[in-house]
Amino acid sequence: MGYTRVSTHHQSLDQQDDELRAAGVPADRIYADRMTGTSTKEQRPGLTALLDYAREGDVIVVVGIDRLGRNAAEVMLTIRDLGQRGIVLRSLREGIDTGNATGRMIAGIFASLAELELELQHERRAAAAAARKARGLPVGRPPKLRPDQVALAGRMKAAGEPVDVIAAALGVSRATTYRAVNLHAAGDGL
């Protein structure tokens, strides 16, 4: 089995397809995605289908390990998950083959580096949030609705309007509308 990915719809998968077929991967077993660099693993239907199909003992071939994700941490987590499932990964460009001891060692080092990077990212986010909080700045996503809109949602609900109508009037989802109505009822959105 093989996997190919390009970051934009303007790029071609042909080179990757050719390299995988030259490495012995049947054309009907090549899974592909054309996604932007901001997509996550869950937003890649080709990779998801491949991972669902792959079983212990299978070999997945990629042209380069960077095709497995948009950043090092995501790539390494995918490699680690494959290893835990007993699936061998072969990367043509890097010469990595997790079917042998050297390849598993290299993949293990990459996985350790990925875990370190994830921990550092978490620490940086926590430090940034603490700094914003200390300065009295908002932390997290800004609210979808202003306080006056929350109050309007509460009044509309109290007047008997259905949630769908309120959501459409405010241009938000039903879930956001329910949160706004609950905030208003609790007196937090005034």
Cβ atoms of residues 78 and 107 within 8 Å? no
The model's pLDDT over 91-133, given as tens digits with 9 standing for 90+, comes to 998 888 999 999 888 877 876 776 787 788 889 999 999 999 9
Greater pLDDT, 188 or 142: 142
- Count CB atoms within 10 A of the CB of residue 64: 15
91 and 17, same structural domain? yes
Q: Which of 7, 39, 112, 173 is catalytic?
A: 7
136: DSSP letter: T
The pLDDT of residue 190 is 47
Q: Is 7 a catalytic residue?
A: yes
Q: Count of domains in the chain?
A: 2
For 95, residues 6+ apart whose C-beta sits below 8 A from its C-beta are: none
177 and 102, same structural domain? no
Could you give the strand order of the β-sheet that contains 59-62, starting from the edge strand earlier in sequence? Answer: 30-34, 2-6, 59-62, 88-91, 96-97
164 and 85, same structural domain? no
The pLDDT of residue 8 is 72
The pLDDT of residue 97 is 93
Q: pLDDT grade, residue 150 (50/70/90)?
A: very high
Angular region, 33: left φ>0, alpha ψ -120 to 50, beta rest: beta
**Residue 125 within a domain:** no
110 and 151, same structural domain? no
